[in-house]
Amino acid sequence: MKRILYFLICMLSIISFSHIEKNINVYSKAMKKNIPVTVVLPDDYNENNKYSTIYALHGWSGSNRNYVEKVSIGKLADMYGVIYVCPDGGYDSWYVDSEINKKSKYETFVAKELVDYIENNYFTYKDYKQRAITGLSMGGFGAFYVSINNPKTFGAIGSMSGGFDIEYFKLNWGITKYIDSNFEKYNIKDLATKLIFCGSKIIFDCGTSDFFIEANRELHNKLVKLNVPHDYIEREGSHSWVYWANSIKYQTLFFVNNFESNKK
């Protein structure tokens, strides 16, 4: 009997269930334009339930399609029953409200407009402790930057191979089109003290062959000295999708554990 039921379940999970990918546009008042967003719903998504959300920010030159195309977040959504929200962050916006390019306001979009839209249109918890944000490279910077400047918006903050030291790399990846002064307001190491008592859990990682490894080590060392709780991981790897396809599994586990412990 048990065997038959188990078989039935397996069949069902293959036939009936699988995550749902939605490609939508979310209007940004701040930027007066539609922003493409990919939302990944878990296979069991239904109105009788409430779901935690993980916002995943792409890297430089990427798009809202990156995580669904290059990383199996659909499987992770199913496995853990969470929603992923993947906004388009522009080619090189660095997820800031730019003082230079006044039309680029991705900080506002991600932290306010997008969160509002998602929670009004999907069956989510309305509690910031059931919301997490992460990102890779430029998106890792973005996840930290947006969270630091918008406390009590994301209950957990992650970064994969994050470009934390934006000033050091200012010649690259279009940074100076959006930020060209007051770097101390943007370098995550300079903002690190704001993570004291921030109320959010923190996880970040970097590959030992990545050009961002020293910037990540620097932030880790600073947070250790400040006794700011955080998970820090170094592993073999470079700045690549192979690395991120692995990393996202651990980041998701971290976020889900945090969601669970906050439900109790």
Of 2 and 32, the one with the shorter C-beta distance to a second copy is: 2
Buried b (16+ CB within 10 A) or exposed e, 27-37: ebebbeeebeb
* The only residue of 121, 181, 182, 208 in contact with a second copy, by rule CB under 8 A: 208
What's at 114, amino acid-wise? L
- For the bound state, the minimum distance from the C-beta of residue 196 to a second copy, rounded and expressed in Å, comes to 5
Count CB atoms within 10 A of the CB of residue 96.
24
Of 8 and 100, the one with the shorter C-beta distance to a second copy is: 8
Is residue 162 within 8 Å of residue 143, measured between CB atoms? Answer: yes
| Interacting positions 136-175 with a second copy (CB under 8 A) | 168-169, 171-172
User: Which of 263, 37, 264, 249 has the alpha carbon at shortest distance from 134?
Assistant: 249
Regarding 236 and contact with a second copy (CB under 8 A), the answer is yes
Q: Collapsing DSSP states into helix, strand and coil, what is residue 158?
A: strand
Is residue 192 within 8 Å of residue 169, measured between CB atoms? Answer: no
Regarding 121 and contact with a second copy (CB under 8 A), the answer is no
Regarding 5 and contact with a second copy (CB under 8 A), the answer is yes
Q: Rounded to the nearest 5°, which phi and psi values hold at 141?
A: -55, -50
- For the bound state, the minimum distance from the C-beta of residue 41 to a second copy, rounded and expressed in Å, comes to 14
Regarding 194 and contact with a second copy (CB under 8 A), the answer is yes
- For the bound state, the minimum distance from the C-beta of residue 251 to a second copy, rounded and expressed in Å, comes to 11
Q: Collapsing DSSP states into helix, strand and coil, what is residue 39?
A: strand
Applying CB under 8 A, which residues contact a second copy?
Answer: 2-3, 5-6, 9, 12-13, 16-17, 44, 46, 168-169, 171-172, 190-191, 193-194, 196, 208-211, 213-214, 220, 224-236, 238, 246, 249-250, 253, 257
